[in-house]
Amino acid sequence: PATDPPASSNAIDTPATATWRVALPVPLPRLFDYLPPPGDADADPVGCRVRVPFGRSGEKIGVVVATDQPDSDAELKTVAARLDAEPLLHGELLASLRWLARYTHAPLGEVLATALPGPLRHGEPLPDTHAWAWRLSEAGATALPGLRAGKPKQLAERLAAGAVDEDALDATLGGWRAAARSLAKRGLAERVAIKKEKMGSESFLPERKNDSDPIFSLNPEQQAAVDAVLAARDGFAPFLLDGVTGSGKTEVYLHAIADCLARGKQALVLVPEIGLTPQTLARFRARLGVQVHALHSGLSDGERARVWAAAVRGEARVVVGTRSAVFLPLPEPGLIVIDEEHDGSFKQLDGIRYHARDFALVRGKALGVPVLLGSATPSLESLQNAHTGRYAHLRLRQRAGNAKPPQVRVIDVRKRPLEAGLSPEMLAAIERALASGGQVLVFKNRRGYAPVLLCHDCGWSAHCPRCGTPEHPTPMTVHGGGRRLQCHHCGARQRVPDACPDCGSLALQPQGAGTERIEDALKVRFPDTRVLRIDRGSTQRRDAMEKLLAEFGSEPGILVGTQMLAKGHDLAGLTLVAVVGIDEGLFSADFRAPEKLAQLLIQVAGRAGRADRPGEVLLQTHHPEHPLLATLLSGGYQAFADTELPQREAARFPPFAHMAMLRAEARRVDAVEAFLRAARDTLADTRTDALELHGPLPAPMPRRAGYQRMQLLLSAPDRRSLHAALDAALPTIHALPEARKVRWSLDVDPVDL
């Protein structure tokens, strides 16, 4: 009967079954409560993935981020399935990702989905990370002497002394798989999983592997850098390793990582997309003497998930990865390194717009480990942090070993005749370098044949029909030796018209030179010399560039390329770097353009003379007196930074201000403007002190692929005001009726303004 008292007072105190609060990958700034699946009330579900009913008839995969008491009157659906027995995202990683969701003002569910590799995001189980080996069965050992000669017998003999792992068989016994199948069918051999043992500490110390990669003693600056990192290894400590190209920064990383391994800890190394070459991995492997896990965009989804699993199980001791590797779980953390910390590829430009360097610092702090940022051209943000003492500033001022710094010379090309953009002085220098047996790198940051197609009779030029506006038309790039037009913003392609669409003239001329045209001209000029072009057009696949460069070797020859060549693969035979056509970058409206140009120039110049031969750098420009060039040439990157930082401060730009960009696009420009105006009013209503709102203004590309694009820039002298305004305004902005007519996004710390 309903009036009966409870059987025991205990029952009153026992809470009703807790609900599970789930973060789902949906663009809504909220979490979702579910009832636990039947019979699963005890084990803590936080950090585990679940499959839940969502919407009318759908299901979604999410992560339980909390448990809570149910709202008495809420009608809750029940979790369809718990997918993990052990939490996948928990502890420090979950806490750091929560921080990232708050910082980017993005839904936690979308942040967690971004952090997980595809298969895990889609609910697949944590993959196997076992290595496999083969061994003889007892029957196999007995039968061995009587086996007929052949592959199976060869394999059986290999296995007679004990199990051999598949990697080793791959390397030493061609065709072993068929042989293994044949033995297995007869019950003579079997496949066994081997758990990767964590190796004892000594085996992690760098050891000399071969003569081509000698161990030398660190120079005093390198030693001081290593000592500083080791002295701080027991807690969070940020370092800026500021060392000229070729000064041996990688050696400093390797020593710090070796120490980390020796203490039984994991090291995470983030590198730019272009820097993760097989060369780099081989150097790490050879020097550290352990397996090095790589994580980059060239891996399949399954491989990415395996690296993730190896990291969460603590099997991966050293991971070298690109941007998204910053999301790897590190149960036994020891060190985080960010090489080329200034590199633009660390910033994600869509979806969750995080910066891997900045998030690595957040994680380093939460994990209590040193974070080592290295660069020859540090970002002004990091330099400023070093100047204020937030980061310890470690410097390597000299090139390591015998390498000499390159000599940089400017060639004034005003009024000079140009051949495919190259001046006579430049061509003569190339000829000299080749004659003395050197390699030449011709750097031009523009791919394609020519950047513009112009009608010589009426002035018409080819523009993308889907991009740009009448005031700001977007030229199409000429490709295919002058036969095709392509838009580098939306990918649109066309054939070059036979005659000018405006006046009918046949005098259509490609203007200016991209890498293709330079390649053509150099092949004509130096018919007996190898000319290799490296850009996104010539190397679609990530390993293609490596293969081309390996074939190129170190014999005399010319490389023509875009910034893909500015870093990555070491080119030992390079003696001349010819820089052409950087003038566009001198007059860009983006306040970061001088910084990016300075970094690019220093990095490209740094490619010359890395070995024993001195290098020469020639810079061809129409603006030899430009202050940026003058400063860089006389005082290097440091002089540039010393003049640029005060200018940033005076103009109240980062790192002396904090910014966020609200971007919107739609087919109709009035819808875009209406949304951004309403958003601006909402932000202004928060009456946040010192918040400045600029816009709505047209985006730098005001129309792309048929979409009209505008932006509203938020700026504040301190982070706190910026985030307070966003926290207060975003719920209203999400709900604006104008928001339904546009695609919009928020970018905190935008890099492209």
Binding status of residue 500 toward Zn ion by CB under 5 A: yes
Token look-up 């939306």 returns 490
**407's tokens:** 């000599």
| Residue 502 contacts which entry, ligand ADP, Zn ion, none (Cβ below 5-8 A, type-dependent) | Zn ion
Q: Are 51 and 57 in contact (CB under 8 A)?
A: no
- By CB under 6 A, the residues from 334 to 363 that bind ligand ADP are none
Q: Least distance in Å: CB of 457 to Zn ion?
A: 5
CB 266 within 8 A of CB 314: yes
Asked if 243 interacts with ligand ADP (CB under 6 A), we say yes
Min dist CB 337 to ligand ADP, Å, is 11
Residue 251 contact among Zn ion, ligand ADP, none, beta carbon within 5 to 8 Å by kind: ligand ADP
Tell which positions 391-450 bind ligand ADP, by CB under 6 A: 400-401
Closest separation in Å from C-beta 700 to Zn ion: 14
Strands 58-68 and 19-23: antiparallel
Least Cα distance to 372 among 232, 246, 218 occurs for: 232
- The token duo for 23 is 């973060």
Binds Zn ion by CB under 5 A, chosen from 167, 207, 502, 718: 502
For tokens 């990530």, the residue is 542
**Segment interacting with ligand ADP (CB under 6 A) among 176-184, 239-247, 304-312, 539-547:** 239-247
Contact status, residue 430 vs residue 665, Cβ threshold 8 Å? no
CB of 328 to ligand ADP, least distance (A): 23
170 binds Zn ion (CB under 5 A): no
Q: Give the CA radius of gyration of the chain.
A: 30
Q: How far is the CB of 216 from ligand ADP (least distance, A)?
A: 4
Contact 436, 673 (CB under 8 A): no
Nearest residue (CB) to ligand ADP, 338 versus 701: 338
Among residue numbers 192 through 211, which ones bind ligand ADP (CB under 6 A)?
Answer: none
Minimal distance, residue 377 CB to ligand ADP, in Å:
11
Please classify residue 61 by burial: count the beta carbons closer than 10 Å to its beta carbon, then call 0-12 exposed, 13-18 middle and 19+ buried.
buried
CB 270 within 8 A of CB 326: yes
Classified as helix, coil or strand, 84 is coil
Least CB distance from residue 271 to ligand ADP, whole Å? 11
| Subset of 247-276 contacting ligand ADP (CB under 6 A) | 247-251
Identify the residue among 76, 215, 458, 651 touching Zn ion (CB under 5 A): 458
Token pair of 532, please? 């290799």
By the rule CB under 6 A, 245 interacts with ligand ADP = yes
Count of residues interacting with Zn ion (CB under 5 A): 15
Distance CA(492)–CA(474), nearest Å, equals 12
For ligand ADP, the closer CB: 36 or 636: 636
What binding mask, one character per residue, do residues 156-185 give for ligand ADP by CB under 6 A, x or -? ------------------------------
Binding site for Zn(2+), residues? Answer: 455, 458, 464, 467, 487, 490, 500, 503
One character per residue 503-532, x = contact with Zn ion (rule: CB under 5 A)? x-x---------------------------
Q: How many residues are listed for the chain in this entry?
A: 753
Closest to 136 (Cα-Cα) out of 63, 75, 186: 186
> Containing H/E element for 256?
helix 249-262
Q: Is 568 in the site for ligand ADP (CB under 6 A)?
A: no
CB within 8 A of 722, min separation 6: which ones?
A: 658, 659, 660, 691, 714, 715, 716, 748
**DSSP code, position 260:** H
Site residues (CB under 6 A) for ligand ADP, limited to 212-231: 216, 218-219, 222
| CA–CA gap between residue 399 and residue 402 (Å, rounded) | 8
Q: Extract the runs of DSSP E, i.e. beta strands, from 687-727.
A: 692-704, 707-716
Stretch that binds Zn ion, among 78-86, 412-420, 488-496, 627-635 (CB under 5 A): 488-496
**Which one, of 130, 103, 109, 106, lies nearest residue 121 by Cα?**
109
Of 5-13, 67-75, 322-330, 498-506, the segment contacting Zn ion by CB under 5 A is 498-506
Specify the residue, 401 or 557, whose C-beta has the smaller distance to ligand ADP: 401
Nearer to Zn ion by Cβ, of 184 and 492: the residue is 492
Could you tell me the smallest distance in angstroms from the CB atom of residue 283 to ligand ADP? 8
CB 593, min distance to ligand ADP, A: 25
In the complex, what is the shortest distance from the CB of residue 673 to Zn ion, in angstroms, rounded to a whole number?
Answer: 22
**Interface positions, 468-487, toward Zn ion (CB under 5 A):** 487
Minimum Å gap between C-beta 631 and ligand ADP is: 23
655-658: Cβ within 8 A, 24+ apart:
655/380, 655/381, 655/384, 655/385, 656/384, 656/717, 657/715, 657/716, 657/717, 658/715, 658/716, 658/717, 658/718, 658/719, 658/722, 658/749
Is there binding between residue 489 and Zn ion (CB under 5 A)? Answer: yes
SS3 state at 353: coil
The interface region with ligand ADP, picked from 58-66, 246-254, 547-555, 678-686 by CB under 6 A, is 246-254
In whole angstroms, the minimum distance from the beta carbon of 614 to ligand ADP comes to: 15
- 295: burial class by Cβ within 10 Å (0-12, 13-18, 19+)? buried
Whole-angstrom distance, CA of residue 697 vs CA of residue 464: 22
Q: Which is nearer to Zn ion, 139 or 503 (CB)?
A: 503
Identity of the residue, 36 or 406, whose beta carbon is nearer to ligand ADP in the bound complex: 406
Distance CA 595, CA 587 (A): 12
Judged by beta carbon, residue 298 or residue 459, the one nearer Zn ion is: 459
Decide whether 222 or 423 has the Cβ nearer to ligand ADP.
222
Nearest CA-CA partner of 107 in 41, 27, 211, 52: 27
Contact call for residue 462 and Zn ion (CB under 5 A): no
Q: Residue 63 or residue 337: which is nearer to ligand ADP going by CB?
A: 337
Q: Which one, 228 or 676, has the nearer CB to ligand ADP?
A: 228
What residues line the site for Zn ion (CB under 5 A)? 455, 457-458, 460, 464, 466-467, 487, 489-490, 492, 500, 502-503, 505
Q: Where do contacts with ligand ADP occur on this chain (CB under 6 A)?
A: 216, 218-219, 222, 243, 245-251, 400-401
